[in-house]
Structure 1
Amino acid sequence: MEERSENRGDSFAELRWRQAGAFSRAQALAQGITDKVLLGRRRARQLQRVHRGVYVDFTGPLPWETRMWAAWLACGPEAALTGPTALRMYGLAGNWRDERIHLAVPHARRVELRSGVVVTRHRHLSSLVQASREPPTVRLEVALLVTAAADEDVSRRAAVLFDACRQRRTTPDRLLAELGSLPELPGRRILRRILDEAAEGVQSFLEQAYLRRVERAHGLPRARRQVRAVDAGAIVYRDSEYSPYGVIVELDGQAGHLDSASRWRDMTRDNAAATSGKLTLRFGYQLVSEPCRAASQVAAALQFRGWRGTPHACSPTCPLAP
């Protein structure tokens, strides 16, 4: 491009490199590049316009990172990455299928609708942003809560929050504290209930289903979650353990239990528990559709080990009904 000096050209090239090839008209003008030069470069197919006043210094398909920078430049310096876009930038493991760019802007701002860009408005946005990141991005906990709240499926809301805690990227306490900074977030009551369960040690949708539909619904004793134990020198965690009765409940979802190494590790863990006199019951996703059957088996094991309580029916059709 035609710049006024070699140093300014170098700095502009560096800027474009940091922004994955994207730049704004204002940035170009600051480097002495006129609208006439930009138009000529467009006609020569040496750059392309993505949004009004935003260009990239190459032609052809735009990578996701370039689209992200272009969207942020189009919405102005007060904007911040949010939702799934922010989670992707934080490198959070997950299947973030939403290819749209999610941006937050101050509540008083009105921005032009742009293809492939989702804009939400927040009061006191500056207090939610980790400004040291480039481009500015809302804090990880804010991005998680915004992403979870936007999903209509409650199980997927829970999965977003449980997965982040299981990856040790955040904690239920930090998420609960951040929830207080988002008073207008939809579904706060449901999110708080999910986070309260995460604070109890629930780390997956299956563990949540067991807690709600098996244990609580049928009046079983309260188990300890994610109990740390040592097996042959290795640290393991038991999903649910009824410590006074020596009964362990392990929940096998699809992730992490499909390969032979994982199955062998689970067998070794169960065998170690058995040699210490503990009884292990194992359930998969069938407990979601048959929670009453799972409850009757857990109750029988607990009563065999000395529990003097009696499970109660969750409904008139429950097989545990008198």
Structure 2
Amino acid sequence: MDPQLRTLLDRNHGVLCRRDAAEVVPAWAIDVARREGRVRRILPGVYADTTLPGTDNATGTVDAADTGDPGRFPAGLGGLDPARARRAALGYADGRGAFSHLTALHLWGLWQPAAGEPVHLTVPATVRLSSHSGLVVHHVRGFSLDGPDTLTRHGVPVTWLERALVDSWPLLPAGERRGPVIQAVAGRHSTPQRVGAALAGAPKLPGRAQLRELLGKLAAGCHSPLEIWGHDRVFTGAGMPPLRRQARVSDGRRTCYLDVYAEAQRVAFELDGASVHGAPGQREVDLRRDAWLATLGIQVVRFSHRRLVHDTAEVRREILAVLAARR
């Protein structure tokens, strides 16, 4: 392989654009490397180093769209690891698109893509880029790379978090849709109001009503699937007084947020999820927190995930009894 071509591939982590290579090597250098099986064409004008791990060197059919690139090649991004697939997609976009949907959600740290999951790019409606195997290009009217639609994250252009959450909603498996939205709000990376504003710009989004309902519960203070369960089945309904979710309590030196708080009776109901409160050392943390709240005159009542889900009626009775005793 041409030494300069080898240097370009190494510098770009095994991905190369023909337009960049043309600035430093003869046009035939890529064709020779391809015939020798050293690189393969993965997108129009974009090539991958076949000698690196995580690159499938299978071949496909001729595509006349890549002028000057004879031979056979595999279609799309199949066989590339996710990081190189994203790098290849950016090379193909050539500054005309931003990562969006599930790809943006991954870059925001809220989604782990499964093997073979396609890369998503959003581009202005007038940009002539096509989807390929492993790459989904979304053409959106009014979308601008220079406006409020995108920002740079990890050195690459991505859509804003709220837009990524809304765009990804119908693409996620039904049982996993709520997780990224809950994580974003609970981690204070966004708010239900900001996600709601993004949702307002997608009136035809599949599953829109379900997302709007979730945002309502998050706005009420629910910050976990268990709290949403409690909101729906335990802490609302006949006989239940008004209760605050994620109520802030502070003594000037220390601050905490209570899952459910009956302010008039000064009772905090804490919902202990198995994944967190079952962790080693968490019991000691909970006991110290409860003791501190007791110094403020707040009684803490804890319910386990198992009791909340499987003994709902009895939990409701206990809540009402505790509140009656504290009046």
TM-score w.r.t. the length of structure 2 is 0.77
- Does the 8 Å CA contact 2:276/2:282 hold for their aligned counterparts? yes
Is 106-115 or 207-216 further displaced after alignment?
A: 106-115
The partner residue of 1:262 within 272, 275, 282 is: 282
1:23 maps to 2:16: yes
- In structure 1, what is the Cα distance between the partners aligned to 2:151 and 2:251? 44
1-structure distance, mates of 2:252, 2:279: 21
Contact 2:293 2:299 in 1 (8 A): yes
Indicate how the Cα distance of structure 1 residues 230 and 199 shifts in structure 2: closer, same or farther if over 3 A, else same.
same
User: Which of residues 234, 239, 246 is equivalent to 2:266?
Assistant: 246
What is the aligned partner in structure 1 of residue 317 from structure 2?
296
Could you tell me how far apart the structure 1 residues matched to 2:13 and 2:151 are?
A: 19
Q: Which secondary structure state, in structure 2, belongs to the residue aligned with residue 103 of structure 1?
A: strand
Structure 2 unmatched ranges of 5 or more: 55-79
Describe the superposition over 1:40-74 as per-residue Cα deviations: whole angstroms up to 9, x where unpaired.
Answer: 01233433322343102452324321111213434
Q: Secondary structure at the match of 1:48?
A: strand
Change (3 A) 1:121 1:98: farther
Q: Which moved more, 1:275-284 or 1:187-196?
A: 275-284
SS at match of 1:255: helix
Residues 111 and 180 of structure 2 are in contact (CA less than 8 Å); yes or no, is this contact kept in structure 1? Answer: no
Deviation at 1:219, TM superposition (A): 4.5
1:54-99 Cα distance to aligned partner (Å, 9 max, x none):
1024523243211112134345643321123212223x2x451434
The alignment status of 1:137 with 2:158, answered yes or no, reads yes
- Whole-angstrom distance in 1 between the partners of 2:313 and 2:140: 44
Q: Is the 8 A contact 2:38 2:49 kept in 1?
A: yes
User: 1:51 aligns to what?
Assistant: 43
Letter in 2 for 1:96: Q
> Once structures 1 and 2 are overlaid, which stretch shifts more, 162-171 or 108-117?
108-117
Picking from 196, 205, 220, the partner of 2:240 is 220
Q: CA RMSD in A?
A: 3.1
Using a 3 Å threshold, how does the CA distance of structure 1 residues 222 and 20 change in structure 2: closer, same or farther? farther
CA distance in structure 1 between the aligned counterparts of 2:279 and 2:128, rounded to whole angstroms: 51
> Would the alpha carbon gap of residues 131 and 271 (structure 1) be closer, same or farther in structure 2, given more than 3 Å must change?
closer
Q: After superposition, what is the alpha-carbon deviation per residue over 1:26-46, rounded to whole angstroms, capped at 9, x for unaligned?
A: 333355541x22110123343
Q: Which residue of 1 aligns with 2:65?
A: none
1:87 and 2:105 are equivalent in the alignment: yes
Residue of structure 2 equivalent to 1:282: 302
CA distance in 2 between partners of 1:131 and 1:32 (Å): 33
Amino acid corresponding to residue 244 of structure 1 in structure 2: A
Secondary structure at the residue paired with 2:242? coil
Distance in 2 (CA, whole Å) between partners of 1:73 and 1:184 is: 31
Identity %: 30
Q: Which residue identity lines up with residue 228 of structure 1 in the other structure?
A: R
Report the TM-score, using the length of structure 1 for normalisation: 0.78
Q: Does 1:172 align with 2:192?
A: yes
Gaps of 5+ in 1: 4-8, 307-322
CA–CA separation in structure 1 for the residues paired with 2:274 and 2:111: 15
Shift of 1:23: 2.7
